[in-house]
Amino acid sequence: MPEPATDSRRSTILLSVLAAAAAIRLSRLGDASLWLDECGTLYARELPLSVLWVSAYNSTPPLFYTIEKLFSVFGHSELVLRLPSASFGVLTIWVMYRAAAELAGFKAGVAVALVLTLSSANIEFSQEARAYALLGFCVSVAFLGLVRLSALLERRPAELGYRELLANGGALFVLGAVAALYSHNAAVFFIAACQVFAVFLCARQGEAKWRCAGFWVAANAIVFVAWLPWLRASLEILDEGRGLTWLRPASAAQAWSTVRSVHGYRGVWTGQPFADLVLVGLACLGLYRLRDRPVVVLLVAALLSSTLGMWLASFVEPVFLFRTILWGSLFSAVLVGVGVSSIDGTKAVPVWLLIAALGLQSTRVYFALDTAQNEDWKSAAAYVASAARPGDSYLLCADYASGVFFYYAGGIAGGDTVYGWSIGTDELRQGQLAWARAYPRVRWQPKSQSPVRLPAPGDGQLWLIEGHCRVGDRSRPDRVQRAVVAAGWRAQEARQFRRVRVGRYAQ
């Protein structure tokens, strides 16, 4: 790719890439069924701000839910719920373009934008109504601030005031870091990695190192004070065991597979290392190109290494997931983009074409496999609604899955009384459907002295809905099915949808 001669050509190229990113992320945005966690977003955004920003209502910080609350004026459809994430996904690409362009020029910025535009991992979470795309955007803003700070301080000016440091990246870092911490708790690892960079950066400032250190301490103090309210809530959640306690630590092999999926091209020559080797080679070339910027190299290395820290921390508190390490892909993309931009002349053409081809293939596979369809509650509810009749009873294998099921099945026959198997206490619960806005919720009855029992077989049917119910105990569905049979019900039919199973029982 030759270096464009005019600003107008550069703007056209950048806008074309961003338009492609937006088109990909908006494509079929409202088609997939909501899954359990997305339905949690639907309910969390209804909470008043006094609850969102004060109480430990959820393990996810309040910023994303607050933004979703602003979008709620447009309704509660799948498209509306996912639109903020799609928007932040595109904005992240623009910010990372700016960071890479300031590091290594326009071609590097466009290469990074192209890699992220066609990253199926980033596309997936730009099409999910959860906080991960917002986290990526906030982290990218903080990273841009650090790039600008390093550029300023690498010139080693004799005197730098706090005002200059704030104006040249310091304020961006503070704002991005605070917003990231209020987007997702995984941002703690990003902040920790930045400290390694700061120590090295300040140590290289000679006589100005103490001024640099003083500014960094002040900036982190602002971030910490701003985060204190949610830190208290997070500690309360951990103390009560309401974190990801169901998640088992990943083995080394599982962790490596997850890292490859985040940083590589999923669905391209599955099981073969070719695509990964292309990216690794370009990243190494990018490191070589940045050899005169050791502070930046250390920053990117520290940010990428934070994934290892998250994996090790997961043996104490489960935090290592595909989605929680996704933000690290932003920085591997920077190295790849800088590597691509370092190839000059006609030799660069096949590299650009190869990167585009790999990304397009990965994107094609993402849509062909309908990856956005995590749990197909919509089809499951449609099947139940087509065969339900008055007098039917409904049993959720996991009680907390009632929200997403009845979001789609609120008008089914006989659904006033609902039964659910409690994941927490491993016993049967009973509840009533109550309408809130345009969709119902189940109000579970408080625990009583006498155990709840399933209704005896009669003229109606019993529908057993199994989804998200193996959490913490993979044998739970079998126990629930045995309890249904023990109550006198006989299996008539079962349908399997993506990660949701529906069984119909009768007398």
- What b/e sequence results for 424-459 when a residue is b if at least 16 CB atoms lie within 10 Å of its CB, and e otherwise? eeeebbbbebeeeeebbbbebeeeeeeeeebbebee
| Structural domain for 125, as ranges | 7-368
347 and 475 in a single domain? The answer is: no
Q: Which of 276-285, 305-314, 418-427, 496-505 has the lowest mean pLDDT?
A: 418-427
345 and 273 in a single domain? The answer is: yes
Residue 74 lies in a domain: yes
88 and 200 in a single domain? The answer is: yes
Of 344, 368, 392, the position where a domain reaches its end is 368
Of 368, 393, 408, the position where a domain reaches its end is 368
323 and 204 in a single domain? The answer is: yes
What's the confidence (pLDDT) of residue 55?
66
Place of tokens 């399997």: 496
What's the confidence (pLDDT) of residue 88?
98
Of 306, 335, 368, the position where a domain reaches its end is 368
| Tens digit of each residue's pLDDT (9 = 90 or more) over 51-86 | 888 765 677 899 999 999 999 999 989 999 999 999
63 to 194, 288, 496: CA distances (angstroms): 22, 38, 36
What's the confidence (pLDDT) of residue 239?
60
What's the domain count of the chain? 2
Q: How is 444-499 classified by DSSP, letter by letter?
A: EPPP-SSPP-PPPP-SS-EEEEEES--TT-TTHHHHHHHHHHHTT-EEEEEEEETT
151 and 215 in a single domain? The answer is: yes
CATH of residue 396: 3.40.50
**Most confident option among 128-142, 309-323, 431-445, 447-461:** 128-142
What's the confidence (pLDDT) of residue 241?
54
Average pLDDT estimate for 306-333: 89
| Tens digit of each residue's pLDDT (9 = 90 or more) over 232-274 | 777 776 665 555 555 678 888 888 888 988 988 877 766 667 7
148 and 244 in a single domain? The answer is: yes
What's the confidence (pLDDT) of residue 21?
98
209 and 66 in a single domain? The answer is: yes
243 and 133 in a single domain? The answer is: yes
434 and 343 in a single domain? The answer is: no
358 and 398 in a single domain? The answer is: no
Residue 1 lies in a domain: no
**Most confident option among 11-20, 152-161, 466-475:** 11-20
